[in-house]
Structure 1
Amino acid sequence: MGMEELLGMAELIFGVFMNVFIGSIGKIIFKKDDRASRIILRVIGIFLIINGVSRAFHI
């Protein structure tokens, strides 16, 4: 397993973690938990998941 696959797995894990704990991450980063901060974090989390899967499994 090379460095590329490890980075992909890290992106995948961080993206899932971000989407699971979206409320608490929003409170830490934006100092509030509202719809706009959740949308921003959701988009970033989904982007990380898609990139992580494609990088880790060479899709």
Structure 2
Amino acid sequence: MYNTRAWYCMEAVCPHAGGPLENATLESVEKELEDEARQRDDIGKHEADVEDLVVVW
């Protein structure tokens, strides 16, 4: 797997969407993807805890 950063341009300031170039910004989606992965891991841990609770009588 390649370790590359993904970038996207904010639509409100993107020169390609009509915004002025001096206001152009790039935002990394890497943190957003990490947050989503962390949230999925937390949900998976919670589901595992629930399964443990259900199995124990």
Fold in common (TM above 0.5): no
Output the TM-score relative to the length of structure 2.
Answer: 0.40
Say which structure is richer in helix: 1
Say which structure is richer in strand: 2
The structure showing larger relative contact order (alpha-carbon pairs under 8 Å, at least 6 residues apart) is 1
Q: Which has the larger radius of gyration?
A: 2
